A and B are shown apart, each in its own frame.
Chain A
Amino acid sequence: MADPGTLRHALRNWRVLIGGGLLLALVIAAIFAPLLAPYDPLDQDLAAQLAAPDWHFSSTTHALGTDSLGRDVLSRLIFGSRVALTVALVAGILTALVGTALGLAAGFFGGWVDAAISRAVDIWSSFPPVLLSIILVALIGTGLWSVVAAIVLIDWTRFCRVVRAETLKQRRLDYVDAAVVAGLTPRRILWREVVPNVLPLALVLLTLEMGIAVVVEAILSFVGLSISSDAPSWGGMIAEGREVVHQAPWVLIGAMLVLLATVLGFNVLGDGLKAELDPVLR
């Protein structure tokens, strides 16, 4: 799957291009935030509270307006991408590792391992995720790392369920039987034969999971359970924007659109990758 042919082919897929483009913009915004942002995201301009968006670019105007403390909305959106990207990467990858490992174990070893893991998945996914994440963060305490922990604790089941089913399917295929006949050890079969075939699917799920992680972080920031409300985060801006929605709707609208674009970016990229990495669909 890492050969240049696949990559070149994938770049011709419009979904991969659009999703990848949106996410590239997010990564650039996060890395170069201090260079791109016109203002310090924490700077309060008390002379310009709730200023409307002003497109006459100059050193004193605010292209996307200001919030109730006179902080520049555009700058806060740009710096907020750092929180979103951090959570997407850390929570997404950790969730993928935990869920994929458990799914592989359940699907490959079967027996009581499978029974125990599948039972846990059933119980876990019968709880409403939003309620569960709020309760979890309330228990472990607020903050960005609690949010990451809550996402991993709740969403590992998404990977586990799908990877288990795919592993079961792969294990029944002839090539695994052939490997057994050829005298390969189970460990070698798992790592050299099954894992590479399950990996593309896990990658697609990871892309979708990153989008979910960004939304969960925004929800918990909105509720007031993530990072402190001073630090710029999209969820926090949504909460502030909700308070002043009649006087300054641009705060809410700006944060919502950025969040929406990010989530759609991950989803579209995931769909595109699914089509590209599946040899049958391609």
Chain B
Amino acid sequence: MFLRRILFRLLQAIPTLAGVAVLVFVLVRVVPGDPVAMMIPPGADDAVVLRLHALYGLDKPVWNQFTIWAGQALTGNFGVSITTRQNVTGLIFSRLPATLELVFLAATIAVAVGGALAVMGTRFSGRGGEVAVDAVTGFVLSVPDFLWGLGFIVLFGVLLPVLPISGRSDPTRALGLATDFTLTESFLRLRWGITADVLAHMAMPAVALALPLAAMIARVLKASLAEQMGQDYALLSRVKGFSRWHVILAEALRNAAIPTVSLTGVQLTFLVGGTVLIEKIFSYPGIGSLAIDAVINRDLPLIQGLILTFAAIFILINLALDLSYAALDPRLRHG
């Protein structure tokens, strides 16, 4: 049953991805500007331009270009990046782990901090806890996301220089790891010196990415917890003599979780989108900063590959969200 649901949703994702692929191809082709112009020095003669056009297949009709591109894309080949001359698929896969680890860390921080704030606010609601949580979340949400990362750079990189402000690891250190999942792999291989170094580099971007989501989670979860605490079952537990901690953590939290899960799922796609800017701010080598460089250099093959990668991530997040509803709500599982 559960497996069939996963399979069904995965099958549903195929036409969506195909639609995105067609859209991306059409959009990128209707844009004015010659992609080859970025590769040659100004004043190069026409013969060179024509030869490059032929080399990249830009002299063929658009329809023909699409069939070639789609055929290659199906085999996992998205062509060669115009600026770096590297294979697009290889380039994306070498950068993707950095972004995935950043997103995972940021989401974990957001859920932990937001959840803790909501629980504390509910537990101490009589003693100003609610007001304090509202004040903190209000402050976090009133400052634009964009400024949190920059503010951290000024605070913890310059005025109180405790954290590195760019990159993913100390460039003088030879990592010697087999994969690009540096954080995970160094941890599993017990090379915790590298783990600590990578964590120090990821601390500011991950927290900057997590803060707005943490504030939103705190607000939504606190509201649903307050609602649950007013229900008869919570009152009955209190009358039976269970502590407020027990009622909140063991009983109300699970019932209050669904609106928060749905919010987190939706916001997770926005968090992935936010990596683009955060990675640029912290010169973090993931697919977000790669995307910005690709856009600035008008590197069409790379832009196409990246948009499809982002689309695939969004589809997977929605799939996971759908499945987690079923896991949380027995009515959906058996209905």
Contacts and interface: CB of A to CB of B under 8 A. Distances in A.
A154 B277 CA distance: 17
Nearest to B307: A135
B157 interface: yes
B147 interface: yes
A134 B295 CA distance: 8
B25 to A, nearest CB: 12
B150 A215 contact: no
Nearest to B24: A135
Helix, strand, loop or mixed for chain A's interface?
helix
From B32, B143, B144, residue with most partner A Cβ within 10 Å: B144
Interface stretch (A19-27, A51-59, A89-97, A251-259): A251-259
B125 to A, nearest CB: 24
Q: Which of B280, B303, B307 has the most CB of A within 10 A?
A: B280
Contacts of A263: 143-144
Given A135-B295, A141-B32, A245-B158, A128 B153 contact: no
B276 A134 contact: yes
Given A131-B276, A249-B159, A219 B146 contact: yes
B71 interface: no
B111 interface: no
A139 interface: yes
B162 to A, nearest CB: 14
Given A138-B303, A215-B146, A249-B158, A242 B28 contact: no
B296 interface: yes
A31 interface: no
B292 interface: yes
Contacts of B303: 135, 138
Nearest to B318: A126
B157 A126 contact: no
B87 interface: no
Contacts of B32: 141
B76 interface: no
A242 B150 contact: yes
B90 interface: no
B292 A223 contact: yes
Interface residues of A, number: 34
A129 interface: yes
A143 interface: no
Contact of A130 (B150, B276, B296): B276
B79 to A, nearest CB: 18
Nearest to A211: B144
Contacts of A139: 27-28, 31
Given A131-B276, A131-B310, A263-B144, A253 B295 contact: no
B56 interface: no
Interface size bracket, B side: 35 or more
A249 B154 contact: yes
B167 interface: no
Interface of B is mostly: helix
A249 B154 CA distance: 7
A256 B153 CA distance: 12
Nearest to B30: A139
Interface string A255-275: 010011001100100000000
Nearest to B142: A267
Contacts of A129: 270, 273
A140 to B, nearest CB: 8
Interface in B270-324: 270, 272-274, 276-277, 280-281, 291-292, 295-296, 298, 303, 307, 310, 314
B27 A215 contact: no
B330 interface: no
A128 B274 contact: yes
A260 B143 contact: yes
A221 B244 CA distance: 50
Contact of A225 (B281, B296, B307): B296
A246 interface: yes
B108 to A, nearest CB: 19
A85 interface: no
Nearest to B165: A245
A186 to B, nearest CB: 36
B273 A130 contact: yes
Contacts of A219: 146, 277
A64 to B, nearest CB: 15
B290 to A, nearest CB: 12
Interface string B179-213: 00000000000000000000000000000000000
Interface string B30-47: 011100000000000000
Contact of A128 (B31, B150, B273): B273
A160 interface: no
A238 interface: yes
A151 to B, nearest CB: 14
24 contacts: A126-B314, A128-B269, A131-B276, A134-B291, A135-B295, A135-B303, A135-B307, A138-B298, A139-B28, A223-B277, A223-B292, A223-B296, A225-B295, A225-B296, A242-B150, A245-B153, A245-B154, A245-B158, A246-B158, A252-B150, A256-B147, A256-B151, A259-B147, A267-B142
A-B pairs, 9 with minimum CB distance: A128-B273, A138-B295, A131-B273, A215-B144, A128-B270, A249-B158, A139-B31, A130-B273, A219-B146
Interface of B: 27-28, 31-33, 142-144, 146-147, 150-151, 153-154, 157-159, 165, 269-270, 272-274, 276-277, 280-281, 291-292, 295-296, 298, 303, 307, 310, 314
Given A130-B276, A139-B28, A238-B150, 20 more contacts: A128-B272, A129-B270, A129-B273, A130-B274, A130-B277, A131-B276, A132-B273, A134-B291, A134-B292, A138-B295, A138-B298, A139-B31, A215-B144, A215-B146, A225-B296, A246-B158, A249-B158, A252-B153, A253-B154, A263-B144
